[in-house]
Every structure is written in C-alpha cells, then in structure tokens.
Structure 1
Amino acid sequence: MSTAHVRALLDHVATELPRESWPHWTEGWPHEIEAGLLDAAFSARATYGTPTTGVRAVITRWRDHRAAPLDDLTALAAHADEPEVLLAVLNNRQRVPGNYTTKAEAVASAARSLTELSCTTSADLRDDEAQRNGLVAVPGFGGATWECFTMQLGVRTAGSHQLVCDFLGEALDLETPPSAAEAEDLLAAAAARLGITPATFTHAVWRYQRAQRRVAGAR
C-alpha cells in the first residue's frame, strides 16, 4: 500500500469518525478483563457515552467499588447467584437483548462460566470454542458480545479482523479488501501519522464498522 493510500485513509477517517466526536479512540481495556466484559454487555443497544455517562460510567462505578485492578473475573462471578449487590453498584438496570435478564446479571453469569473454564484474567483469554461457547450460552449474549469482549482485550478474532479489512477496502474504494499483511501495514502507518498506537486506531475503526453494519442490518 502506498503513501497515497495512507493519505486517503486518513481523509476518510477525518470525515467519518473524527477524533473530536467519535468516543472510541481508545485501546479498549487491555489487561482489564472485568472492564472488557462490562463494556461488551453494556454497549449492546445503548449509547456509549462519555467517561462519566453510559458504558464508561458503569465501568467507573465498578472500578471505584473494587478499588483494585480490574483483571479478575472471580469478583464479578461472585454475584452470579445474588446479583442485587452488583445491580446496586453498577446503578444500571438495562436488560440484555431479548429481555431475558439485566445486563448486570448476564455479566455475572458469563464471568462464572469463564472462570469455570479457567479464564480468570486477561492473560487467560483465548479465541477458542470453549470460552466462546461459555459466554454465548448466557441468555442475551451472542457472537457480537464475544467479538466485542475479545476486541477490548486485544484478542483479534477472524470476524473482527474481517470488519477492519472491510473498512479499509471501503475507505480506499478497493475492489477487494486488503490482505492481512496489507491491513496491518496500513493501520500502523495511519496510526503513526495520527500519533497514536495501532491498537487505538484499530479499535476506533472496528467500532465504527461494527456500528455501520448494525445500522445497515436494521434497514
């Protein structure tokens, strides 16, 4: 990919997801598996908000309650049988798609399922069938929840990688999306121009493309 491709990509980004208004210019939640799970649950069909509203406010409340690094799912799993304390801490009673339970209850159940599979910290997370099945078995959670959860922790799945490649193909008006190697080169070059990490750029792009697909699917 050429310098012209990088310039075209940056022009598209400035138009479609400018840094001053797109809330997802972060790396996600690296090394914070609890925050990643909360994000995946509470960002579903909800406004993401600012650092003091929406999803991030939920995570901040949990962080203040824990007063510890958010990288141990046993803390959330402890509320699986009696979720009322967790609901009070998070101060959010949104329900999962399908209205099966509150998102807080679903998070606690998913945390317990994952810890039973020896996935307790961010270092334990893998894009494997057992862990994925453990999460999507929770009513109201599905493949999109898994994709969001893993992306927040920097675990790239085939699905999340494809979304990013599709964005690049559309941004540059390519006949076919770039290869994996080309995509990584483009992401790194654009991130360098923006003065951010490739992980931050990739996360912002992935969130944007995911949102666009949801909008298209609702039509």
Structure 2
Amino acid sequence: MRERYRSMPLLGTDLAPAPMDQFSRWFTDAVAGGLQEPNAMVVSTATPDGRPSSRTVLLKAYDHRGFVFYTNYTSRKGREIGENPYVSLLFPWHPLARQVLVTGRAERVGRDETAAYFRTRPHGSQLGAWASDQSSPIGTREELLARYEDLAARYPEGEQVPVPPGWGGFRVVPGTVEFWQGHENRLHDRLRYVAEGKDWRVERLCP
C-alpha cells in the first residue's frame, strides 16, 4: 500500500523565522482542512535505560515556549518524563500529506496554569481525572464506573471540582522541529529547525 502524494513544494524561503510560527501556520491549515482532532499528537517517552513507549494525547496549548498537554503525573508517561525528560511529538496530518516532528525536553507547567485549564474541562472529564489512576491496573470496568459515580455524587454538575494533586500539564520545549511535506517518488520535503541558543538554524534533510 502506497499513497501518491500531490502537493506543493516546501521551500526554505516559505518558512517562518521561528518554528512555533510555522507550526501555527500549518495547524491553521489542518483545522481549515477539516481534519478530525488536528491537535492529536503521538507523545513518545523512554525510561532511563532507553525503553520507549508511545501514546496519542491532545495538544491543549502552544506558544513560543512550546507545546502543552495534560496527564496524570503518575501515569506511565508521567513517570517516564520524571525520570527522563527528553520526549518526541508527532503530528500525523496524513490527509494533507504533512507531518510535524518535535524533539525536546518536557517540564511541568505551573499549578496556576494547570488549574486554569482544568476549569475549562467538561464536568465529566474533571471527574474522570479523579476516577482514573491512569496506567495502573484495575480489576473491572465496573470498578472504574463505581469510582466515577461516587465522585459524581460528591461533586454534582455545577459544583467546583478541585484539581487532582497528581494531575497537571507538561510543556515540551522544542530542540528541533521538523516540517515534512509529502511528494511523489518519495522526494519529500523535510525542513528542520534546530535550536542554537536563542536562535534557530534551518536545515533540509534527505527524504
């Protein structure tokens, strides 16, 4: 199975001066293109001895400082980041024949920022953050649902749910950001920003 890509070339002269500005352009295109959950990204982490794991999470914010997502800090990814903060992100925008690949260092966001985001989550998602001890074994689904129902009785709709102490955000501060544009004959464009102090160097990679 092979896709025949038909798209415009991505030239160095087309790029924004900074990677987060270029990401904003492409993210806007992904939203305008009607992609389902364009903020879905694959987060890859690794243990200190190099054993990797990956999962899909949702990007919740981005700016010049990096990419933010939220999770349980005791989840597998949370524990691995605590031991080894170097991670990668992948935005697989296949309908546009585009990918964005990020490598960088994850750091916890402040509790005020976490609390502000938590307040925007649907009530059910707030309860779910308490009900699920993410990545830990559980006997049955019924047990999970019972936890949720207990919380729903304690915090009915309209009542403020406190932020779980072990739940919060990570910001991935990028060291490299690659923009991949697919083309025919595997002659893809791959342009990568590389951090050099406060500046960025752009290099073209062979496909």
Please report the TM-score for the alignment, with normalisation by the length of structure 1. 0.22
More strand by share: 2
The higher radius of gyration belongs to: 2
**Structure with greater helix share of residues:** 1
TM-score normalised by structure 2 residue count:
0.23
